Amino acid sequence: MDTEDPERPGPEAILPAYEREAPGWARDRNRTLWEAPALEAAVDARPPGLTVLDLGCGSGEPIAAWFVQRGDRVTGVDGAAAMIAEFRAHVPGAEAIRADMRGLSLGRRFDVIVAFNSFFHLCPADQRAMFPVFAAHAAQEATLLFTTGPAASEAWGRVGGSVVYHASLDPGEYRMLLAENGFDVVWFRPEDTELKGHSVWLARYRHAR
């Protein structure tokens, strides 16, 4: 892959892209809550008051806002300062931390971990390295919700006027990485029409293996 090609930038271009595009992204982000079936599955009928770690939180609407409105305690993490500013403006009831999810070490564990349409911007090697990070932040019985592609691939899309990189491992490798890091797969819904064609994983943390 030629990372100098402006039509095929590499993963290192993701944070600069979101720095540029943050105001427009916050303005134009789809707020119809098509993600609701996945979010409801992640809370799994548990009462409000869960601790939620939103990795790649963006502007916080609608996902972080949904948890806050439910009565959960949300910590949003994003590597783009402009996105964290939008998050603080749109979800003032949540904690906001500017940090790269790669190598994150907050020293806390959460009931729900979400990496929705953020994790898939990482290169394959960085995706593999995220599973110990997920485990280090997972409370017992925590749920992990994240999006990938339906199969091993690299792809390019757009955020506003910026071309952005996406990658996915093979679903079998995700299953292996989850199991190795103490997670059981609840379901994998590839290109699910109810979720606007997104490929979504839900897993539950049991213990380190």
Half-sphere exposure of 104 (CA within 13 A, CB side): 31
Select from 70, 168, 172 the least CA-distant residue to 112.
70
Whether the CB-CB separation of 142 and 111 falls below 8 Å is answered with yes
Select from 164, 188, 206 the least CA-distant residue to 19.
164
User: Is the pTM value of this prediction over 0.85?
Assistant: yes
For residue 2, what pLDDT is reported?
Answer: 45
Instruction: Say yes or no to pLDDT of 7 above 90.
Output: no
69 Cβ contact partners less than 8 Å away, ≥ 6 residues apart: none
Give 111-168 pLDDT, tens digit per residue: 999 999 999 999 999 999 999 999 999 999 999 999 999 999 999 999 888 999 999 9
List, in order of start, the domains of the chain with CATH numbers: 49-205 (3.40.50.150)
> What spatial distance separates the first Cα and last Cα of the chain, rounded to whole Å?
35
Q: What is the DSSP letter of 91?
A: -
